[in-house]
Structure 1
Amino acid sequence: MPTKKLRSNDLRKIGYPEGRVIGLALDALADKQLKTLDKGSVLALLQQIKADPYAFLRDPLWREVAQELVPQPSREVGLNPDIKDYRRYGEQFIEDGARRQMDTAMQLPVTIDGALMPDAHQGYGLPIGGVLAVNNAVIPYGVGMDIGCRMALSVFELPASYLNKHSQELRKLLLEHTKFGNKEVFKKPYTDDPIFERPEFREIGVVRHKRDSALAQIGSSGSGNHFVEFGLVDITDPNNELGVPVGQYVGLLSHSGSRGLGAAVAQHFTKVAMEKCPLPPQARHLAWLSLDSQEGQEYWRAMNLAGDYASACHHDIHRRLSKALGNAALAQVENHHNFAWKETLPDGREAIVHRKGATPAGKGVLGVIPGSMTAPGFIVRGRGERDSLQSAAHGAGRRLSRTQAKAQIAEGDMRRQLRDHGVELIGGGLDEAPAAYKDIHQVMAHQRDLVDVLGTFTPKVVRMDAGGSRGKGRGE
């Protein structure tokens, strides 16, 4: 049938707006009445409908398309005049830009509650380190571009001395068994993961078109601050849930997200949300989708798929390196951020809680909060603190922006600092230099009420993208 040749891009080229109307038009084109029309005639008809949608409002085939194309009166969603109160941890160390972004988020009509973590800094939409609970809606940019970005730690029954004795061997393992950036992929990716059988890959357009790249990128890490590193695990709490005795061990820590799949989901549904929910300029990236809408449900399913895909990537990384190391992990810890969860708030209300660069810290929930390349990360147990919406920092947080770091930090100074701390770096850039980050000990001091520390992880052999850092801050 000639009309089958038409795709979403064909409609965009003739001016059809992003969103539901394109899907409705493509559905209508499947009608048997149009079988005899060639592509040019169909495009001419679609242009006619767009030019005068009122003329098609009573046409049973084109009614829904026309209703979407009828010009709407100004429908900008206003913000509440008052800023809802929210808890700020380590406020004196949080930049004004992040505070202003959080203030704006607390004016949204759907906002219920919020909190700002001590590693917070300015981002897009919700600040990095922002936690926002809203009513029956999801904010694509409140989740972020790298959906389900996470930390994963494996603890091996190898002594601390192994790191020094075998550092070059560990370096070789990272070079052979990890891939970074947009160009590096494994020649034989692990395509048997059940994630690829999920129905979302068939039922959601933007996801369906990314399945092939998701297959190719499985087990790889992004650019920017994403890393895979061997280091020293120091377990300090004898009552830890890991079942690992107090002592020092070799550990493997990875940080990455949902790769091109998550980015495509974020970009597509952010555009849809901004069209459906136009907000004032300062809040435009906080546009939301109602969970009662088709678009909201599609985003929710796609977000969860992207988060599970990110987890699958980490499992592949740790499986490959554990096998190459010839050592099974004693214990593993995994947690994610850049996500939205359905949760019950302390007052009993159901809410969608967005954690943009914030670690889930419900009572008894385990996680890893990284520092910098020359500062330890912390293995933590959440305390379920109500004021923080059961959240904690997700890293040290940036002290310098990427541009500032490149301008103010000398390559030689960074290399000397790494050498002084016994850290070998493969790849990376000045914008990931330790001096670009806040003091992780200071961050942890401001969240003593939020988490208990079970141990630490100190990086020793680190691999990052060799093409330079283009992502967010370490731990985002």
Structure 2
Amino acid sequence: MTMTQATEQKHEIIANGEATAIMPTGGKQKPITVIGTEAIRNTFDDLCLQQAINSRQAPGVTDLVLNPDAHCGYGAPVGCVMVSPSHVYPGPVGVDIKCSMSLLQTSLPADAVDDKKVRRALIKAICDRTPTGAGRGQRNVPKSRHVDEALGKRVLVEGASRGVCEELGIPAEWANHCEDASHVGHNDSTGSLALRLEKLLPNMYKFADKMSQLGSYGGGNHFGECEVVQVGEDKRSREAAEVFGLVDGGVAFLSHCGSRGIGHQLATGQFKALQNKFEQWDIPLPGQDKQLVYAPLGTAEANAYLDDMALGANFATVNHMLINALVLEAFQEVIPGTTGQLVYFISHNIARKEIVDNRPAWVHRKGATRAFPGGHHALKGTPFAKTGHPILLPGNPQAGSAVMVADEGAALSCYSVNHGAGRQLGRKAAKRALDQAEVDRSFDETDILTNCRSYPIDEAPAAYKDFDEVLHSVKSAGLASEVARLKARFVIKDGDKADD
């Protein structure tokens, strides 16, 4: 058997529906669940598939789902779901803890942002408040919120508590429109987070600088987009949009960012600590990949990781909430009288404790979005108990983004969907293959303004998978239905290396 044949056999994907398949691992484990049409499955390269197999064969893992946006990541593929009732894994969360999406619905009609001068003024007003770029924070913009070290500590421990929101000028009721407004430590208390933070602080590099990054986007694939909402014409879409607070033909603002420098520091610290333990104890690594280190639940190592993840997740939550408050303030400066309401805030780089197959387990979503349908027990008491919660899926500025809602079939994917379109070209490949002038011209032709002199070529729409085909996979697999499409009018972006 040739090496090529061996590779093909090892990575065999067996279709069992138009947009569903399984991938055996070569062992006796339950096979990997694959979501995607044949066209989408052909975008999965060998490294992505091998990472999926390594992750499925890792200790304690009971389920592995590969979503249509999947591509190679940090140990585990970006675009995967990994379930374990007994272990926690930093890799399937990644270095940008709780990278997330949020959507703000404004009171403005679409024609309020038709004029290019108005859009340019909005771009300036937003950039005066929400910096982009690696290492940049509130001190780099003129109309910032001051975040001192004491408030930063509260953010990490409390998340979007009423007190934190009030101090930062964030409407406290927005916390009711969050997947998780705050996270607690390994023992389900904030006390363990406070103790963990005090232990970490003496060795934290430039802590005050990292706290000043609250209310900032960072670089790479993170962005802010002014959108026009197009709600579907069917009854279900209209009813869901009303519950979500989406306004057909209205102006909304979509944001993508995470835990910035503090999340990266916490995550890399955990990777180093666990890698040292594996080396010290001579424990074999799944797939011989040092990025797939893990810790059994109940151990000191697992407790430390869960605490650090919660600290980073709390920062990411407040970061998004503050960005939305600053964006609304910018709209009000340019167009007085504008009001706004947070539609939803939802993460795609997190491990959450959920009930899977009637027992508690940690569901690791790396570049994957939670998808609970109406009637799911976890939504009881929320505004979305009957409809299911909003799912925010970014595509690209020219193809648009989507708001979806889960269907009962989402059980197949451990109640998860993709987190967006997913890359089809790596950053270096995109720079080699794409033409900068053509990319910039495409934005002019579609009348989408940006804050960039030249749009980052490694973030060009052509670097990402066909968004309509990705959505077709999700719908055909019975995971979720589209409620609305978001069409970009301008984009806030930075050309630095991606945070996640």
TM range (shorter): 0.7 to 0.9
Partner AA of 2:30 in structure 1: K
1:216 alignment counterpart: 212
Structure 1 residues 264-287: Cα deviation after superposition (integer angstroms, max 9, x where no partner): 111111122223344155432111
Q: 439, 442, 446: which is aligned to 1:414?
A: 439
Q: Does 1:155 align with 2:105?
A: yes
Distance 1:306 1:394 in 2: 19
Distance 1:435 1:218 in 2: 31
Distance 2:346 2:306 in 1: 19
Distance 2:28 2:246 in 1: 51
Computing the radius of gyration from Cα coordinates, the structure with the larger value is: 1
Distance 1:331 1:230 in 2: 14
Q: Does 1:401 align with 2:435?
A: no
Q: 391, 398, 402: which is aligned to 1:367?
A: 391
CA-CA distance at 1:167 after TM superposition: 1.4
Identity of aligned residues (%): 30
Distance 2:445 2:360 in 1: 50
Distance 1:442 1:206 in 2: 45
CA-CA distance at 1:201 after TM superposition: 5.0
Structure 1 residues 424-452: Cα deviation after superposition (integer angstroms, max 9, x where no partner): 12234110011101111100000111112
1:234 alignment counterpart: 230
CA-CA distance at 1:421 after TM superposition: 1.4
Distance 2:343 2:120 in 1: 24
Residues 377, 458 of structure 1: 8 Å contact kept? yes
1:225 alignment counterpart: 221
Partner AA of 1:382 in structure 2: A
1:203 alignment counterpart: 196
CA-CA distance at 1:213 after TM superposition: 3.0
Q: Highest relative contact order (Cα 8 Å, sep 6+), 1 or 2?
A: 2
1:213-292 equivalences in 2 (<5 Å): 213-236=209-232, 237-240=237-240, 242=243, 244=245, 247-277=248-278, 278=283, 279=285, 282-292=288-298
Distance 2:244 2:101 in 1: 19
CA-CA distance at 1:408 after TM superposition: 0.6
Residues 82, 107 of structure 1: 8 Å contact kept? no
Residues 360, 390 of structure 1: 8 Å contact kept? yes
Residues 116, 129 of structure 1: 8 Å contact kept? yes
1:66-215 equivalences in 2 (<5 Å): 81-82=27-28, 84-90=30-36, 91-165=41-115, 166-187=118-139, 188-191=144-147, 192=151, 194-196=154-156, 198=158, 200=193, 202-204=195-197, 205-206=199-200, 209=204, 211-215=207-211
Q: 435, 442, 458: which is aligned to 1:431?
A: 458
Distance 2:463 2:156 in 1: 38
Distance 1:89 1:409 in 2: 28
1:254-403 equivalences in 2 (<5 Å): 254-277=255-278, 278=283, 279=285, 282-326=288-332, 327-345=338-356, 347-363=357-373, 364-384=388-408, 385-403=410-428
Greater shift in the superposed pair: 114-123 or 230-239: 230-239
CA-CA distance at 1:86 after TM superposition: 1.8
Q: Name stretches of at least 5 consecutive residues in structure 2 with no aligned partner.
A: 1-24, 159-190, 333-337, 374-387
- Matched residue SS, 2:67: strand
Residues 207, 261 of structure 1: 8 Å contact kept? no
TM-score, length-scaled by structure 1: 0.78
1:53 alignment counterpart: none
CA-CA distance at 1:324 after TM superposition: 2.5
Distance 1:207 1:232 in 2: 43
Distance 1:206 1:213 in 2: 16
CA-CA distance at 1:320 after TM superposition: 1.2
Q: Per the alignment, do residues 183 and 355 of structure 1 end up closer, same or farther by CA in structure 2, a change over 3 Å counting?
A: closer
Partner AA of 1:461 in structure 2: F
- Matched residue SS, 1:221: coil
Partner AA of 1:412 in structure 2: A
Structure 1 residues 29-85: Cα deviation after superposition (integer angstroms, max 9, x where no partner): xxxxxxxxxxxxxxxxxxxxxxxxxxxxxxxxxxxxxxxxxxxxxxxxxx9954530
Distance 1:412 1:112 in 2: 48
Q: CA RMSD in A?
A: 2.1
What count of residue pairs does the alignment treat as equivalent? 392
Residues 118, 446 of structure 1: 8 Å contact kept? yes
Distance 1:103 1:84 in 2: 11
TM-score, length-scaled by structure 2: 0.74
Partner AA of 1:440 in structure 2: F
Distance 1:331 1:261 in 2: 25
CA-CA distance at 1:242 after TM superposition: 3.4
CA-CA distance at 1:400 after TM superposition: 0.6
